[in-house]
């Protein structure tokens, strides 16, 4: 499958073309510039592109800016902004994963306790030959296993998306950033195709 991204010396380029540098950061965030959140559109585009790229190959962010917004310190400052944002996102993803696993352990303990209670009642009802008692015993056994399904689902399946997000954010927090100049006033949409090389 051909991806809508270009490669440069074996590195996949996530091209992001902006009209001005201020489009990169969230204008509503009052934090100092190095600690400011990325603009939601820019963040969504970078993350969506990274999810499409091969995980086992190198990536880089190619940021296209007008010459008026680029100076000797721009590259280092922009890379620091982007890496700081995704490092913060990785920390938040790690907290979500940790909270999920803690909830899974609590659900497991609750499920096992309920299962033990069901088995206790089952053992009390088992000697009875009454149809109602036998039906109740079978129902309790089913309920006990149902109570354990959610903890098993949390451990077996639900943590994978959180773990993948954590890995992605950590990788984006180390993403190399290169600056490129564009001279036209036409701005590449954040979800559009990669711009041509000058």
Q: What is this structure's pTM?
A: 0.77
Q: How confident is the model at residue 44 (pLDDT cuts 50, 70, 90)?
A: very high
Whether the CB-CB separation of 17 and 182 falls below 8 Å is answered with yes
Q: Note whether residue 102 is domain-resident.
A: yes
- Please give the Cα distance from 96 to 99 (Å, whole number): 5
**Structural domain count, the chain:** 2
Residue 145 and residue 53 share a domain: no
How many other CB atoms are found less than 10 A from the CB of residue 192? 12
Residue 33 and residue 83 share a domain: yes
- Average pLDDT of span 114-122: 81
The gap between the terminal CA atoms of the chain, to the nearest Å, is 26
Query: What is the distance, to the nearest Å, from the Cα of residue 96 to the centroid of all Cα atoms in its chain?
Result: 10
Range of the domain at 51: 6-91+174-182
Residue 83 and residue 106 share a domain: no
Indicate whether 178 pLDDT > 60.
yes
């Amino acid at each position: 499958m051909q991806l809508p991204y270009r490669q440069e010396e074996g590195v996949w380029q996530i091209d992001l073309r902006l009209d001005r540098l201020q489009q990169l950061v969230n204008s509503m965030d009052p934090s100092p510039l190095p600690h400011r959140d990325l603009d939601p559109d820019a963040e969504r585009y970078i993350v969506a592109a990274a999810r499409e790229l091969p995980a086992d190959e190198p990536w880089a962010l190619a940021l296209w800016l007008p010459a008026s917004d680029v100076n000797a310190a721009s590259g280092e400052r922009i890379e620091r902004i982007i890496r700081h944002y995704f490092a913060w996102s990785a920390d938040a993803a790690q907290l979500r994963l940790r909270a999920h696993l803690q909830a899974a352990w609590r659900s497991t303990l609750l499920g096992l306790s309920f299962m033990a209670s069901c088995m206790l009642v089952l053992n009390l009802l088992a000697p009875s030959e009454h149809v109602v008692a036998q039906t109740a015993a079978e129902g309790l056994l089913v309920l006990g296993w149902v109570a354990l399904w959610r903890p098993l689902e949390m451990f077996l399946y639900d943590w994978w998306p959180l773990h993948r997000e954590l890995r992605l954010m950590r990788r984006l927090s180390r993403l190399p950033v290169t600056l490129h100049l564009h001279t036209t006033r036409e701005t590449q949409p954040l979800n559009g195709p990669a711009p041509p090389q000058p």
